A and B are shown apart, each in its own frame.
Chain A
Amino acid sequence: MNKNPRTVRYKQTAFIIVIFICIAVNLFYLIPHLKVSLNKRARGPYQFYAHYFTEVKDRLKKNQFIGYCTDKNLNEPYHNAIFTQAQYELAPIILVPNSLNHNYIFFAYNSDEKALAIINKIRATPHVKNSLNIILAEKKPWYY
């Protein structure tokens, strides 16, 4: 390595200039990103699907497992997010996808008729429907 003080100074200046350019480029992207995001947040609350499941949490708390029946594709991000956030909110209760073998079952169907048909078929009682159109039904233990 060249120890000539002038070379050392040039190198230091070059490195610092590159760092400042990098900081400037990052600021160029950061400020608009924060502005847009903060404006969006100011316009409306953060959308967290977990909150749609809060009101049934107390009713379900004695169960370790409950069913989550759906005709939607849980690999799609939107439906996956609803399922995963429901799981987050209801933890430590475990949601078992497409299982009817539990006391309580969520029915996340595209139409209420389809969900109610299955609920009637397994002789369950629908209790609550949340704003995401997901019905919570209870199955009496002696029916299975």
Chain B
Amino acid sequence: MVLLKTITPFLLSFMIGLGLLNLIFQKRPQISFLTAFCLGGGLGLGISSYLTFLSYLFIWQLNKNLVIILHMTFLGAILAALIYRCRKLRIPFWTLAPITKDDVIGLTLLLIMSGTVLLNIHIHPYGGWDAWSVWNFKAKFLFEAGVYWENIFHPTLWRSSPHYPLLLPLINVWGWIFHHSPTHTTTQITTVIFNLITIGLIFSALKDLTRSYWSSLVVFLFFLQPYFLTLSSAQYADIVLSFYLFAGMLCFILNIRHHNPRYLLLTGAFLGFLSFVKPEGYVATGILLIIIPGILWKTIQKFDRPKCLRFFFGSLFLFSIIPFVFKYFYAPDNITMTNGLTSQTNPSTWPRLQTILSFYFHEIFKVGKQGWNGLWIVIIFGLLLSGKKIFRSETLVIPLFLLSYIGIVTMYYYVNTHFKIEWWLSVSFNRIELSLLPIITFWCFYSFWRERME
């Protein structure tokens, strides 16, 4: 019974996500069931987070019944729309790809390999420092505070970064919706799900796009990487950020590859969720908001452009309303900011920039249980072997995004002198690497094996 109470919210979220995918695609999209499953899971969990937040926005506290009713209504509306479409327009109820033998094998491999994540969670059941200090603390606070939930932004709680967005805590609150009190099993399940759908999406998207079975190597590369496991099973929001960043960019690439603008509805949705995960998400969404329309303008045929831009901006607008409301009406200012360019006491100096750049270099080549042990070398080697094909138009969004994002991150480390740079880099740069790893790995493998197929 307890297990049923714990997994039901996640099942409902997956059903909402998969239902919505069926509604978006009127013809069968060129993605496998496993890819659709991973995209649908992320979509459904993001929607659940938004629906849960509506309770706080409209009746100023968590009302479990209202949240459940909102979910059931949303799911019911999707099912009604699918039935209507099926009867009136003669479009099949299920337009996604059926489950194939490859999907079953892929899912089995993922489930077996995710055992390493479970072992790590068994070792640290309450997660890392920021799990109890920030993410799970916020979830617990939101779940139990009643009408006082806005105390979560109180300056006394500066240790929990009150300005951080609430997507992950709200997913956990939704996960507890059938429980009387918060349990750490739910936060662990959320972590396992995001690990599975992130690595599953890299693997299945590569498999769909390159048709190479070597794409399964990414499952081993990630699930056997001790540093990745430590970071991704720590119950932090970084694996969630990784997923939405990758999913958003992947759907944009699928749109170019398959000339199907409906993928842009998903890109907009995932970028909306991305901006509700962490402050880095605002930055990433902002960069992609400039790059994506630019690439669309260059690569899409003239008659398709209005439709593509309408789908992208329409969806992004819709899914950015909640992050916007949070950012401008609730989130307090970031108090951990000192502008080193104007500060007399903590100025930005040349040695600070040197420290930042040398740290990047050192971090990439670090070996040990707290090191990447050659993962970045594999990626760099793969990119070098792929040659100029890494700049082909369908994946151009990735290098453009990476250049801009890393540039902005470096500038932020340089300009914000609030923290001692050595300590700050040591606790935060590995998480930035984690958030970029899925998209860079995909870029490397896709460039390499797409080349082999031509």
Taking Cβ atoms with an 8 Å cutoff, the residues of A that contact B are 1, 3, 8, 11-12, 14-16, 18-19, 21-23, 25-27, 29-30, 33-34, 37-38, 40-41, 46, 48, 50, 64-65, 81, 84-85, 87-88, 91-92, 94-97
**Complex A-B, nearest 6 residue pairs according to Cβ-Cβ distance, in ascending order:** A92-B145, A22-B374, A88-B132, A37-B123, A91-B141, A30-B226
User: Known contacts A16-B214, A29-B368, A96-B156; is A84 also within 8 Å of B132 by CB?
Assistant: yes
Task: Give the CA-CA distance A12 to B453 in the complex, in Å.
Answer: 11
Which one, A11, A30, A38, A96, contacts B369 given CB within 8 A? Answer: A30
Cβ contact within 8 Å between A84 and B159? yes
Cβ contact within 8 Å between A18 and B224? no
Task: Give the CA-CA distance A26 to B374 in the complex, in Å.
Answer: 8
User: Known contacts A8-B452, A33-B369, A87-B137; is A23 also within 8 Å of B221 by CB?
Assistant: yes
User: Known contacts A16-B214, A34-B119, A64-B148; is A88 also within 8 Å of B136 by CB?
Assistant: yes
User: Known contacts A18-B378, A88-B137; is A23 also within 8 Å of B220 by CB?
Assistant: yes
Task: Give the CA-CA distance A33 to B385 in the complex, in Å.
Answer: 33
User: Known contacts A88-B132, A91-B140; is A19 also within 8 Å of B124 by CB?
Assistant: no
Task: Give the CA-CA distance A26 to B377 in the complex, in Å.
Answer: 13
User: Known contacts A26-B224, A26-B226; is A38 also within 8 Å of B140 by CB?
Assistant: no
Task: Give the CA-CA distance A14 to B367 in the complex, in Å.
Answer: 22
Write the nearest CB–CB distance from A110 to chain B, whole angstroms.
22
Task: Give the CA-CA distance A11 to B381 in the complex, in Å.
Answer: 10
Which one, B129, B229, B381, contacts A15 given CB within 8 A? Answer: B381
Which one, B126, B129, B217, contacts A19 given CB within 8 A? Answer: B217
Cβ contact within 8 Å between A12 and B452? yes
Q: Is the interface of A mostly helix, strand, loop or mixed?
A: helix
Task: Give the CA-CA distance A34 to B120 in the complex, in Å.
Answer: 8
Question: In the complex, what residues of B have CB within 8 A of residue A92's CB?
Answer: 140-141, 144-146, 148-149, 151-152
B125 adjacent to chain A (CB < 8 Å):
yes
Of A8, A15, A33, most buried by chain B (CB within 10 Å of CB) is A15
Question: In the complex, what residues of A have CB within 8 A of residue B382's CB?
Answer: 15, 18
B338 adjacent to chain A (CB < 8 Å):
no
B389 adjacent to chain A (CB < 8 Å):
yes
Cβ contact within 8 Å between B375 and A22? yes
Question: In the complex, what residues of A have CB within 8 A of residue B373's CB?
Answer: 22, 25-26, 29
User: Known contacts A38-B123, A92-B144; is A22 also within 8 Å of B378 by CB?
Assistant: yes
Interface residues of B in 179-231 (CB under 8 A from A): 214, 217, 220-221, 224-226, 229
A-contact bits for B341-370, CB 8 A (1 contact / 0 none): 000000000000000000000000001110
Q: Is the interface of B mostly helix, strand, loop or mixed?
A: helix
Known contacts A65-B156, A92-B145, then 14 further A-B pairs from the complex at CB < 8 Å, ordered by chain A residue: A15-B381, A19-B221, A22-B377, A25-B374, A26-B221, A29-B369, A37-B123, A48-B126, A87-B137, A87-B160, A91-B137, A91-B144, A91-B145, A92-B146
Question: In the complex, what residues of A have CB within 8 A of residue B122's CB?
Answer: 38, 41
Minimum CB distance partner of B154 in chain A: A94
A-contact bits for B113-147, CB 8 A (1 contact / 0 none): 00010011011111001001100110011001110
Task: Give the CA-CA distance A30 to B385 in the complex, in Å.
Answer: 28
Minimum CB distance partner of A81 in chain B: B129
Cβ contact within 8 Å between B221 and A84? no
Minimum CB distance partner of B123 in chain A: A37
User: Known contacts A22-B378, A30-B369, A50-B132; is A15 also within 8 Å of B126 by CB?
Assistant: no
Write the nearest CB–CB distance from A99 to chain B, whole angstroms.
9
Minimum CB distance partner of A25 in chain B: B373
Write the nearest CB–CB distance from A143 to chain B, whole angstroms.
22
Task: Give the CA-CA distance A95 to B151 in the complex, in Å.
Answer: 12
B413 adjacent to chain A (CB < 8 Å):
no
Question: In the complex, what residues of B have CB within 8 A of residue A15's CB?
Answer: 381-382, 385, 448
Write the nearest CB–CB distance from B59 to chain A, whole angstroms.
17
Minimum CB distance partner of A28 in chain B: B373
Write the nearest CB–CB distance from B57 to chain A, whole angstroms.
18
Task: Give the CA-CA distance A64 to B157 in the complex, in Å.
Answer: 13
Write the nearest CB–CB distance from B335 to chain A, whole angstroms.
16
Question: In the complex, what residues of A have CB within 8 A of residue B146's CB?
Answer: 92
Cβ contact within 8 Å between A46 and B389? no
Question: In the complex, what residues of B have CB within 8 A of residue A95's CB?
Answer: 156
B306 adjacent to chain A (CB < 8 Å):
no
Question: In the complex, what residues of A have CB within 8 A of residue B159's CB?
Answer: 84, 87
Task: Give the CA-CA distance A91 to B157 in the complex, in Å.
Answer: 11
Cβ contact within 8 Å between A30 and B377? no
Task: Give the CA-CA distance A97 to B154 in the complex, in Å.
Answer: 13
Cβ contact within 8 Å between A88 and B133? yes
| 15 examples of A-B residue contacts, CB within 8 angstroms | A3-B454, A15-B448, A29-B226, A29-B367, A30-B369, A33-B226, A46-B126, A48-B125, A64-B148, A88-B133, A91-B144, A92-B144, A92-B149, A92-B152, A94-B157
Minimum CB distance partner of A8 in chain B: B452
Task: Give the CA-CA distance A96 to B156 in the complex, in Å.
Answer: 6
User: Known contacts A30-B369, A94-B156; is A18 also within 8 Å of B226 by CB?
Assistant: no
Question: In the complex, what residues of A have CB within 8 A of residue B132's CB?
Answer: 50, 84-85, 88
Minimum CB distance partner of A92 in chain B: B145
A-contact bits for B27-58, CB 8 A (1 contact / 0 none): 00000000000000000000000000000000
